[in-house]
Structure 1
Amino acid sequence: MARKPTEYVQLKLRVRESLRRKLERAAEKKAHSANAEAVARIEYTFADEEEWEARAKEMEERRDEIDQQHREWLEEEAKREAEHQTALRDSRLLTFMVGSDDNVTLVRAIMHLINEHPDWNKDAEERIRLGLKIQEFLTHANDVFQGQIK
């Protein structure tokens, strides 16, 4: 007949005398038997092992998620780098086409004004409004660049 998991059974162990003494001292400190101390310590090691196994399993389960997040981050970084390289190329082209750095700055400032008014091409009134903003900017640009605009 098989024993029930909750049934108490006797287990004979052979241990070094020094370990038996440590067990006795620990049991005395807690005011219980050496048997109770030994059982508690054995149960603790199994519970600890189960906890570590659960953590390892959780980490393994999250590994795919973390790997996916890493791949997405790498893709975003590659995209940002490509955008940066494109911006550098465009900047070099703009400098080549327009000439001096002051002229490039002027063109960029005008482009910024256009970007601030995305509906500039919607109707004549918006075009006039943007034109006036650009005219105002150009009027003051000479002061900004100190007459160096070519």
Structure 2
Amino acid sequence: MKQNDKNHNESNQKIYSEDETKLILHGLRQYYVKLNEYEKNAKLIGLLNKIKFNQMIIFVESGRRCKALSKLLTEQNISTVEIHRRMPKEERLQRCKEFKEFKKRILVATDLIGFHMDFAAVNIVFNYDMSEDADTYLHQVIGAGVV
């Protein structure tokens, strides 16, 4: 197994790969469920009501999707904080602070957040919308502090 030379974040986890198309994070459990678009909401709500977690981040593809999913979850009595690119920087930072201070346990965010933050209490990351490339996916998982 070939070790990639990059170290990420304070956790100093290393990325290993046998070839560039099969990147893995050592010690990270990853699961996926292939769903049609219309099945995503029901599956996510079902999982949120079943699993135990400290904090989680749900990554979505756009600010519009971020708002819509956060609203849907709130309507289901699932409290969230949302962060996306369309928000002013000060508001994004304030919401990150709220999340870090455990005022909310679920963060719905665009990929913007994965590149800039480390959340120590996050132990679950959902990719509601799958990233278009491996680099973005890895930054989301590593940046969220899950590894």
Report if TM-score (shorter chain) is over 0.5. Answer: no
Into which bin does the TM-score normalised by the smaller protein fall? under 0.3
What TM-score do you get using the length of structure 2 for normalisation? 0.19
What TM-score do you get using the length of structure 1 for normalisation? 0.19
Give the greater-gyration-radius structure (CA): 1
Structure in which a larger fraction of residues adopt strand: 2
